[in-house]
Structure 1
Amino acid sequence: MPNSSRHASGSSHDLSNRNLITRLQRWWVPALGEFIGTAMFLYLAVGGADAVSRGASEGTAVLGIAFAFGMGLMVTAWAFGRISGAQFNPAITLSCLITGKLSVGMAFLYLICQLLGGTLGVAMARGNTPSNVSVGGINQLDNGETLARGFFLEFWLTSILCFVYLMTTEERSKCIFMAALPIGFTLFSCHLFALRYDNAAINPARAFATSVVSKDFTPDHWIYWIGPLCGGILAAALYILFCYFDPDIVGVVDKDQYRAENAAASGETVKIDVDDANKNDMGSSTRSQIAPSRDETYRRA
């Protein structure tokens, strides 16, 4: 009897440990990854952007800063993609919340981690450089950019970044293993466009962090929040629209129909199983689940 009690107690202890680990994996581990990842991203990006632009001509500086941000996002996203999804951006988090990739609680936790992590990264970049070097310039309108144009610049560019993120990290995407590459190049392209006009935030966490560290919140700071967040909403709407029509299924059926019709004799009935087509062409049981089990019958003339 005592032996069975000890055994039952040990089993209960193991079960509670497993439950604790599961909760950590679902909530705190991804949140920690988002915090550290955002800090690393902005530490590399902001510090690198300041270093490559110092003493350079305007065109060279723009290219160097864009490269620093694109490369910084690319390498950190590749590292943290499997841990937290490597969002590092409240606008992307909002897009993932709307599309059902994140719960409300996790999205809020990610937002806090991104703001704190971004501030830490910019502060570390400032602390690791001489005091006479101004690292992490704040986001503000420049070169005659008006408030309305600055808002829509942040809006459109962030919507492009969020849409690329959603499509390349979609579980049915064949390029999900290298999603960090197009995401990084997208941020690179966005910076090439926006740097001369509003210092290219395209990320509320980045704008917030540089303003906090510099202790300078400009009157137009709000556009670096509202613009990107509205862009995230637009990107989520486009993603939902395209997923509604599910082009992956159509492409697979058409492809298998074409193959079968070419192999069939004239007048022969061709029968295609959509589930098999999904398994063969998409290589994933998850993808096959998105198509209902049905047969498609075609007749070659």
Structure 2
Amino acid sequence: MPGLPTPSPGVDYSSYHETDSSSHYDSLSPLEKLVTKFKLTGTSSPDTVQRMASHDSNPAGTTTTTTTAYRGADGSPRKGIGRLNVSDPARNNLVAFLAEFVGTFMFLFLAFAGTQVANRIATVPGRSADTLDPSILILISLSFGFSLLANVWAFYRISGGLFNPAVALALYLVGGITLVRAIVVAIAQILGGLAAAGLVSGLFPGPLRVSTSLSNGTSVAQGLFIEMFLTAELVFVIIMLAAEKHRSTHMAPVGIGIAFFVTQLTGMPNTGLSACRCGANTVTGVYLTGGSLNPARSFGPAVVTGQFPTYHWIYWLGPILGALLAAGFFVILKRLRYRECNPGPDWEDMEKLHPQQGPHRHHRDGLDDVERVDTIDARAA
């Protein structure tokens, strides 16, 4: 692997493919063991990797039994099952589809449920019907923000926890996912939004009151740009915290949830306490746009209620434009090599692995470098 120190001469690393002996392996330094493992990654079977892991957890050097979890009926390794030998894109896309469908459903179900409950609360006594209770806005915003936080955290290691076609588009544009994966998860997200809206409509009393719509004082053009800029803010946070790997990537769901909470406060989600004119129908309205930022979030309730305002398209075009804006800004930063502007702690981590390289090389994508640094630090302690 480029940049790693050269292993000790005279050590036959290929022998670890064939034997369970730990004598040579245990005599290596922690960094040489690291190089050995990465040398095996491209060619070894899953049980070879298991054998190497067992050496680390068994300093006494006793022989351990090779795992058979990844073997088929004939005893040969099963392709596409091993953690280090994924070779079945169709299976991976199926897993992503299921995860995004269930994750989007869980996210929007909790968010819609919180909105439905809040919309049953009357306005503050003494205020006009058009005056909104700020506590209701906070309740709905928290329902969306914390629901997204919890479910992104739960599904992050499965499919990435996107739950939004606009996010899928942005990640495709910046190279985070393939076009096929983006299409697959977008379909799953839309279906998940439909299922969530349908279940909330069936479980909770009264009409479904979670639809997004423009307030009486908000024009279609204003609504479009509000949706665009709020989506751009959310998507850029997602790209920088989740798509760009670094030491705090594991905390990305927290930042994403907070960002969504703030955008919901700005967009002011549906409170059902004022009315707006949508074509020939008067439906539950919102102040500003309803804070959609997500086509799946707006499409599901619209289908369930059968109410499509003439400007429903802004809840598709706005988030798409926001995704393009955020992705374009990120690409510009990437071309300008933004990592060199403020290296930060990740630069120090790369120093430990690649001391012979300049600062401009000490920012590499992927959490694997950070994990290797942590491993080296732990073994040296």
Output the CA distance in 1 between the equivalents of 2:230 and 2:345.
34
Counterpart among 223, 235, 252 of residue 314 in structure 2? 223
Deviation at residue 204 of structure 1 after TM alignment: 0.5
How far did residue 278 of structure 1 move? Answer: 3.1
Give the structure 2 partner of residue 141 of structure 1.
214
CA distance in 2, matches of 1:25, 1:254: 37
Deviates more, 1:115-124 or 1:51-60: 51-60
**Corresponding residue of 1:268:** none
Paired position in structure 2 for 1:291: none
Judge conservation of contact 1:172–1:287 (CA < 8 Å) in 2: no
- How far did residue 42 of structure 1 move? 0.5
| Cα shift at 1:79 | 0.4
Residue 278 (structure 1) aligned to one of 362, 366, 377:
362
Same amino acid, percent of matched pairs: 30
Distance 1:38 1:255 in 2: 32
> Residues 1-301 of structure 1: matches in 2 within 5 Å?
10=74, 14-15=78-79, 22-23=88-89, 25-57=91-123, 58=132, 59-130=134-205, 133-195=206-268, 196-252=287-343, 273-274=357-358, 278=362, 284-285=368-369
For 1:135 and 1:73, the matched residues in 2 are separated by 21
Is the contact made by 1:157 and 1:190 (CA closer than 8 Å) also made in structure 2? Answer: yes
> Normalized against structure 1, the TM-score is what?
0.78
CA contact (8 A) 1:91 1:203 kept: yes
- Please give the alpha-carbon distance, in whole angstroms, between the structure 1 residues aligned to 2:76 and 2:163: 38
Question: Over alpha carbons, which structure has the higher Rg?
Answer: 2
**Helix, strand or coil for the counterpart of 1:169?**
helix
Q: CA deviation at 1:165?
A: 0.5
For the 8 Å contact 2:246–2:346, the answer to whether it is kept is no
For 2:303 and 2:225, how far apart are their aligned partners in 1?
A: 24
For 2:327 and 2:264, how far apart are their aligned partners in 1? 22
* Aligned-pair Cα RMSD in Å: 3.4
Secondary structure, aligned partner of 1:273: coil
Which blocks of at least 5 consecutive residues in structure 1 are unaligned? 1-7, 258-270, 289-301
Q: Which amino acid aligns with 1:128?
A: L
SS at match of 1:188: helix
When residues 56 and 72 of structure 1 are mapped into structure 2, their CA distance, relative to the original with a 3 A threshold, is: farther
1:154-182 alpha-carbon deviations (Å, 9 max, x no partner): 01000111100000013433221011111
Structure 2 CA distance for partners of 1:256 and 1:135, relative to 1, 3 Å: closer
- CA displacement 1:115-163 (0-9 Å, x = unmatched): 0011101111111112xx2234321111310011011000100011110
Q: Deviations over 1:49-87 (max 9, x none)?
A: 221342143222111111111011111111011111111
Deviates more, 1:240-249 or 1:180-189: 240-249
Query: How much does 1:254 deviate?
Result: 11
Deviations 1:186-227 (A, max 9, x none): 111111111221111111010101101111111010000001
In structure 2, what is the Cα distance between the partners aligned to 1:30 and 1:72?
19
TM-score scaled by length of structure 2: 0.63
* CA distance in structure 1 between the partners assigned to 2:345 and 2:73 by the alignment: 58
Measure how far apart 1:36 and its partner are: 0.3
How many angstroms apart in 1 are the aligned matches of 2:256 and 2:293?
Answer: 13
Secondary structure of 2:74's partner?
helix
Structure with the larger helix share: 1
